[in-house]
Structure 1
Amino acid sequence: MEELGEFLEAELLSNEKRKKILVMDDEDMVGEIACQMLDFLGFDAVHVFDGQAAVETFQVHKNNGEPFNAVIMDLTIPGGMGGKEAVTEILAVDATAKVFVSSGYSTDPAMVNYREFGFTGVIVKPFDLAAIQEILDKLV
């Protein structure tokens, strides 16, 4: 009987609600690696490929009472809505949203002056596990 109690306690702990992060990146491999890193850090992550999908996914989860704790957005999406455009729409849905811009172009004005564009912070590519953890620990 004691084992059953220990098992149930462990199950309750493992079923604690994990914080959710929305990852927007047009490259499948980059998005999947980011999601795996976030899972390793104890977050649930959802990957979408462009800004329009990010805005729609963000809205649906918010409406369903399962909002994202943060969003990581690629700065530019060839042929689609990138982070510069999508952050404005996400903040229109939730003005308190924590949205991070992500790019390998560290000199882009949106990376340097991220707050002016509505972003909470910057995550430079390639993703660094320790850097992501540090940023998200401060946030959520």
Structure 2
Amino acid sequence: MSESDNKPRPRILFMDDEADIRRVGGKVLKYLGYEAVEVTKGEEAIAAYTEALNSDRPFVAAILDLQIKGGMDGIATMEKLRELDPDVKGILSSGLPKDTADPSIASYGFAGTINKPYEIAALSAVLKDILGPA
């Protein structure tokens, strides 16, 4: 076993209120070389991000669904994450292409966007653009 086999994967906070999307997104992130920490709403994302900031394994990025049923949405969550960490690398996720094409997204601090359903190549490209190779 090589030393790189023991190296922890970079962690990504993954927020979506739909269990199937979290499951598939988590598997895609694992395939791409990341560890996904899955949460259902903004309040959970803020708690997980805060805990990670105070640990030796902070998140390298946060993928946040725009629309969350019964909880804080992606934009409100990103605003709170930026208060905790001005350097947070947020990626807005939406099932509506018009949402991710909105030029005002960057003004909320998002470094990129991804459309659902996730395509491995598209998610890989967004992550490489923001983070570099996994």
**Is the TM-score greater than 0.5?**
yes
Pick one of 61, 70, 75 that aligns with 1:79: 70
Partner of 2:22: 31
Q: Count residues in correspondence.
A: 130
Alignment partners' CA distance in 2, 1:127 and 1:31: 11
Alignment partners' CA distance in 2, 1:79 and 1:38: 25
Alignment partners' CA distance in 1, 2:109 and 2:101: 11
Partner of 2:102: 112
Q: How does 1:1-140 map to 2 (within 5 A)?
A: 10-108=1-99, 111-113=101-103, 114-140=105-131
With the length of structure 1 as denominator, give the TM-score of the two structures.
0.88
With the length of structure 2 as denominator, give the TM-score of the two structures.
0.92
Alignment partners' CA distance in 2, 1:18 and 1:70: 13
Task: Give 1:85 deviation, angstroms.
Answer: 0.4
Question: What is the RMSD computed on CA atoms of the aligned residues?
Answer: 1.2
The answer (yes or no) to whether the contact 2:112–2:130 under 8 Å persists in 1 is: no
Task: Give 1:11 deviation, angstroms.
Answer: 4.2
Alignment partners' CA distance in 1, 2:56 and 2:81: 16
Alignment partners' CA distance in 2, 1:67 and 1:13: 19
Give the percent of matched residue pairs that are identical in Structure 1 and Structure 2: 33
